[in-house]
Amino acid sequence: MQPPITIAGTTIQPGTRKSIELPIPSFYTHTSASMPVHIIHGHKPGPCLLICAAIHGDEINGVEIIRRILAQKTINNLKGTLIAIPIVNVFGFVSQSRYLPDRRDLNRSFPGSKKGSMASRLANILMVEIIDHCTHVIDLHTGAVARENLPQIRASLEDNPEIEAIARAFGVPVIINAEMRDGSLQEAAREHNIPVLLYEAGEALRFNEVAIRAGVKGILGVMSYLGMRPKSKKKEYKTLVSGSTQWIRSPESGILRSIVPLGTLVKNGDILAYINNPLGEIETEVLSSISGIVIGKTNLPLTHEGEAIFNIAKYSEAEEVSNRIETYQDELNPLTDEIKSEEIPLV
């Protein structure tokens, strides 16, 4: 039996689960504030996995992903410990904003300090109270407002030989070998030799059923890989890694008419969209400058010259990845899937 775990002064015994409120700076109304944390502490020793969402307060898909994970019956008998924080940036979540009230980005403020800005203090609380207990982290994100991402894992694969294996265990068809951002949770955890996966899917302030299902499936897959729960007997697919991505920027200002959805295989010179002036007198083609898979796009049909509108991941075997994406999305789409789930699909 593993020993108890203590977080924010609360001790959780092995074989139990408990929700606690991690104290954070209060609102300026003098209303107290806290970060909700749920801990499932298994009987048997094993990894300590943190799953967290809404470090950017408007990226809410992960909140629903964590709710569904906590509703899974199998995790009551897990080995090791699962720490779930559905809302890290409580202030941004309340105001439906990516940022904190002082306009700082929490995910550029790690590892933080006790005496710094609000962002720095929140980062410090997370590092001291939570990260020090963890062996692995899955950080859940979405695209920005009016910008949507195909379900994908982003990780720095060179830093830890275990990270690529964990990324593949997540099971999404797209893995991006991406550099760490200064001040990110990922970078701060690396200093503690803790592997971190960033899951990117969907759009800010929107629920996306396929992205949510992919996130739930991926987290359960990682838990199985880590030995925290039984391994799945379902077929595993080959996942290919992209070493680079490139944004296609708007050549003109105007009304954008996109004709290429996420997950599409495009080639150099393919038409991705058209841009017209409001009267339709001028039409400009938006062409892809590279070959690859569309993994991100703007959903706003209004664009200024130079704005990023399509994100394309480069692959040496792009056609194989495209076929895998199509199969994967069919498996998770409520209209075409064969999943037996108690969760009612969101629309």
Largest distance between two CA atoms of the chain = 73
Q: What is the pLDDT of residues 13-31, one digit of tens each?
A: 999 999 999 999 999 999 9
Confidence of residue 336 (pLDDT cuts 50, 70, 90): confident
- In this structure, are residues 7 and 131 in contact, taking their beta carbons and an 8 Å threshold? no
Q: What is the pLDDT of residues 257-282, one digit of tens each?
A: 999 999 999 999 999 999 999 998 88
Q: What is the rounded CA–CA span in Å between residue 135 and residue 331?
A: 31
Q: What is the pLDDT of residues 180-219, one digit of tens each?
A: 999 999 999 999 999 999 999 999 999 999 999 999 999 9
Q: Is 227 exposed, middle or buried (0-12, 13-18, 19+ CB in 10 A)?
A: middle
Find the mean pLDDT for residues 135-140: 98
Residue with tokens 């002082």: 102
What is the per-residue pLDDT for 243?
84
Is the full-model pTM beyond 0.85? Answer: yes
Instruction: Look up residue 253 and give its two tokens.
Output: 């200002």
Q: Which domains does the chain have, with CATH numbers?
A: 5-225 (3.40.630.10), 245-313 (2.40.50.100)
Q: What are phi and psi of 284, to 5 degrees?
A: -120, 135
- In this structure, are residues 294 and 312 in contact, taking their beta carbons and an 8 Å threshold? yes
Which of 244, 19, 2, 1 has the alpha carbon at shortest distance from 10?
A: 19
Task: Say how many C-beta atoms besides its own lie within 10 A of residue 53's C-beta.
Answer: 28
Residue 253, C-beta contacts closer than 8 angstroms, at least 6 positions apart: 275, 303, 304, 305
